[in-house]
Amino acid sequence: MGAALETITAYASPAGTTAGTYVALTPQSGQSLTIRATPTDQAGEILAPFASCGLASYVQLKSARMHDQTIGCTFLSQINTTATAVSYLAGLDWDEPAWNTDVLTFQFTPVATNTNTVPVFGGFSIYYPSLGGINQNMMTWAQVKSYENASAKTGLHYVSWVVAASGATAGHLGAAVAINNVNDQFKANHSYALLGYNTNTSCGAVIISGTDTGNLYVGGVGSLNPAETRNYFVDLSLAQGIPCIPIIQANNKGGTFVYVADPATTSTNFEVQLNWMDLGINVPPVGT
């Protein structure tokens, strides 16, 4: 039993929406808006919600165990002008208690009534300090920095690329693409810290999953603003004070995948740059 970070993404594409009438966002296949079962009543923390809306909207995340069941955490999301560009609804330091098996409501309503079909996409992460059956390999920034050693050639930076496509249905995750899809200079038996990523075009979310993430989805916004994504996992870890930086074993590269989800496109390729730090060999799987 160990700690785990999981990113939930969801989408909706209603044919017309009425101001004040909320529309539920549907989670990705295999995901749920029910908090996972944990040995303690407080399961963990909900972190850093984000959304991509084709019209000015209120995005609402709530449950019976939050402040109230009527409004809960309701965020104003402005219309995004570049292919429904994605943005954070709150800072990376935003967190909300997550409760054992609590059922979340994730939904939106437009600021003004709309008669067109407009896609909406949203997401958030959940940090579980103790989750049965999951074995993730994560570090804090201080732990990652402790491996820097110029003479031993550790702490060196490496960039890999993948080309991942959005799903055949808008808002869905596309097909899995291995992290060594385009270039592969990963060194055998080395461990690599994934600091963040960049995209060539805005998309809803960039997600990774594999052995070292406990096969859970972990990721964040597909923003075209590099300041939001290039050190995303470092920034989230620093803001929250918890281990959020995925440590990927090079020998797991063929089984570690990148996915892209986007509310505005279908089956469209996105180039994703993955920003790594080489921690060298014999790095123990520290867990989160």
CATH number of the domain bearing residue 162:
2.60.120
Residue 144: left if φ>0, alpha if ψ -120 to 50, beta else—which one? alpha
- The pLDDT of residue 258 is above 90: yes
Per-residue model confidence (pLDDT) at position 95: 96
Average pLDDT over residues 215-242: 95
- Whether residue 88 sits in one domain with residue 151: no
Each residue's pLDDT tens digit, 99-122: 999 999 999 999 999 888 888 899
Assigned domain for 287 exists: no
CB contact at 8 A, 129 and 35: no
* Domain end point (choices 114, 131, 148): 131
pLDDT at residue 287 in the model: 53
The verdict on residue 288 lying in a domain is no
First to last CA, the chain: 11
Residue that wins the pLDDT comparison between 135 and 125: 125
202 shares a domain with 173: yes
* Claim to verify: residue 277 and residue 232 sit in the same structural domain: yes
Number of domains in the chain: 2
Give the pLDDT score at 86.
78
pLDDT digits (tens, 9 = 90+) for 55-72: 888 999 999 999 988 999
Cα–Cα distance, 228 to 220 (Å, whole number): 9
pLDDT at residue 84 greater than cutoff 70: no
Question: Does the residue 286 lie in any domain?
Answer: no
Q: How far apart are CA 122 and CA 8, in angstroms?
A: 8
Q: How confident is the model at residue 82 (pLDDT cuts 50, 70, 90)?
A: low
| Cα 227 to Cα 40: distance, rounded to the nearest angstrom | 36
For 46, the domain range is 2-131
Among candidate residues 111, 131, 151, the one where a domain is terminated: 131
Q: What is the pTM of this model?
A: 0.94
